[in-house]
Amino acid sequence: MIANISLGYQDFFALARSQLPFMGKLIAGLWIFNIINWLVFRSRLDLLGIYPRSLLGLAGIIFAPFLHANFNHLFFNTIPLFALGMFILALGRTDFIAISVLIALISGLLVWLLGRKCLHIGASGIIAGYFGFLLSLAYFHPTIISIVLALVTIYYFGSIFAGIIPTSAAISWECHLAGFLAGILVMYCFWFIPGFETQALGLLR
């Protein structure tokens, strides 16, 4: 559970190493899904991305994180998704699933409500959500582990901050900003609302 953030250094990272096969399977599944989309469906599944304020675009809240435009898009999302995902996964597998689903749903809904009228796809919203979650966790619950994770996150993935402002029409800064805010909100709810963690996990069973 999320209380694992208070574990000792060695115990925490031993737990993280034990979750490597699970994360490896998730990443492999993401790659297989996209390769099938590119080669078999000729990227037509991308139409299941988030198209703001469109009824069909609501499906993208669920499907958009799995869809990527091309090899480069997927490759450069894979590295932070794996690293930050492992940090979250070390808090507990059930928590990881709940945190990921909530970030995806909240950020996806925000993009659908407020985003530009274009197709939004990719896991970058979830990545930015992990980023926001880890930084806010270190702020609200500073332990050796949470601070180390936040410092590593900022050092290696601080460029995620740049993604939350408009820089290019080809980049969904809305997904980045929505994900970042969703990560902070989810962390706050998990840590400060009594019973929220139990209820969130119960809904996913």
Three-class SS of 97-119 = HHHHHHHHHHHHHHHHHHCCCCC
197, HSE (Cβ side, Cα atoms, 13 Å): 15
Inter-residue contact 129 to 107 (CB < 8 Å): yes
Residue 190 identity? F
Q: How far apart are CA 76 and CA 89, in angstroms?
A: 20
Per-residue pLDDT, 201? 62
pTM score: 0.93
pLDDT digits (tens, 9 = 90+) for 1-27: 566 676 666 777 788 889 999 999 999
Give, as one character, the DSSP assignment of residue 120.
B
What's the Cα-to-Cα distance from 186 to each of 103, 107, 131, 148, 150, rounded to whole Å? 7, 11, 12, 20, 16
pLDDT digits (tens, 9 = 90+) for 106-159: 999 999 999 999 999 999 999 999 999 999 999 988 888 889 999 999 999 999
pLDDT digits (tens, 9 = 90+) for 89-121: 988 888 899 999 999 999 999 999 999 999 999
Number of domains making up the chain:
1
User: Which CATH number covers residue 91?
Assistant: 1.20.1540.10
Domain that holds residue 151: 2-204
pLDDT exceeds 70 at position 172: yes
Weakest mean pLDDT among 35-49, 60-74, 90-104, 156-170: 156-170
Q: How far apart are CA 122 and CA 107, in angstroms?
A: 12
Three-class SS of 124-167 = HHHHHHHHHHHHHHHHHCCCHHHHHHHHHHHHHHHHHHHHHCCC
Q: How far apart are CA 102 and CA 50, in angstroms?
A: 16
Give, as one character, the DSSP assignment of residue 34.
H
Give, as one character, the DSSP assignment of residue 68.
-
